[in-house]
Structure 1
Amino acid sequence: MKVGDGHHTSFWYDNWSKHGCLKEALGTRGLIDLGVTDNALVSDVLGRPRRRRRHIVNILNEVENEIELLRMNQDHGDDVALWKQAYGIFAHRFSTKRTWELLRHSHQVCNWSKGIWFTNSTPKYSFLARITVGNRLQTGDGMHMWNGTYFKADSLRTVDELIDPNSGNWIVDKVESLFVEKDAAMILNLKTSRILNDVYIWGFPNSGAYSSKSG
């Protein structure tokens, strides 16, 4: 802020001092040390009689100097909000471009950037092209799915490969190595049978049989 009469500049929360926001620089203790209330404006501090204080902490003395300097050179015009530009320069006009450059982390321009980000490009397609060029597109290749569960085996095709043919029980080590802990526990809780064949069961009725009513 460029202070004029100080009627629109917060003493503690606006960036009028070289130390920035004084509430952040001095903390809550600063209210007591300077004797200025939390909701005070710069005009309140400049307009009322106030005896300068001597402080042990150097930053407090610097703020006192700034207050005295403002009082001696007080401008009775309006306060003006200034916008930060590059290299710590402040200007009267807001620039979206300059603000964006301050917020983002800039990197070297890639030689293929114009092929993805160009005038009238569709942002969604440009984004997909960008992650594809960077080899970050999740294609799911190399993964297999069994009943909605992803697992790591390339050779596993049927459930009987997880069951010991002699005992008819699950091969615990194999199940736990192929599936995440939650899914492995659910599989191991299923009962196996060496007599019954696999059958399709309709999950909605208790009987397990499909009907047009339940479907």
Structure 2
Amino acid sequence: MLKGNSFWYVKIPQNCSWCWRKILKLHGIARGFLKHEIGDGKSIHLWTDNWHPSGVLVERYGYRIVYDSQSRLDSRLDSVIQNGNCCWKPARSDSLVEIQSKLFEIQFRVADKPIWTIFRSGSYSSSDTWDFLRKKKNVVEWWSLVWFPYAIPKQAFLLWLTLRNRLTTGDRLAISSIVYGIWRARNEIKHAGHPHTEMQILKLIIWEVRTRIAG
């Protein structure tokens, strides 16, 4: 998918999967939380990753900076590192002078390492990141009805959608018919003593849904 290109600037292909498309659409949010510790620089993009004290260089100084440095947009940081030290060509612009003047602030590490700056540990956690980004609201009274230890995730999610009124009309009709069909079958057992088979209950539910749609 990336083929050596920077994750932050790769274009979304027309034939990529739904999952990849969603990830690439969110990279603008994610990049603000990611910095890099420098080891050998082989896994860090020189111009498009956040490793420099000034931030992402191509965003701060523009694409002209790549031309002025006689480099390429996809160059890695190791192209300006020799023997554990930064080794740049002589600066040809004020921007390059500024970039090089701050290199002394950088501390080299044993290996390249991405740092997730949201948390002090620097480690990434999907649940903690979601909790950090989401809009927090008051706890609803019905949460324990949906999310409990032995809940089946698929069913819990469907119930959550129902309570949030996010289902399509057809889905709402189906769920209300199912609930009504089960409730009616229970009452007939309790009050009349005439239990229905599972197939009979299912046929009644299907008939109920078709009748409501047709009506």
TM-score normalized by the length of structure 2? 0.48
Give the number of the structure with larger relative contact order, counting CA–CA contacts within 8 Å between residues 6 or more apart.
2
Choose between structure 1 and 2: higher helix proportion: 2
Query: Highest Rg: 1 or 2?
Result: 1
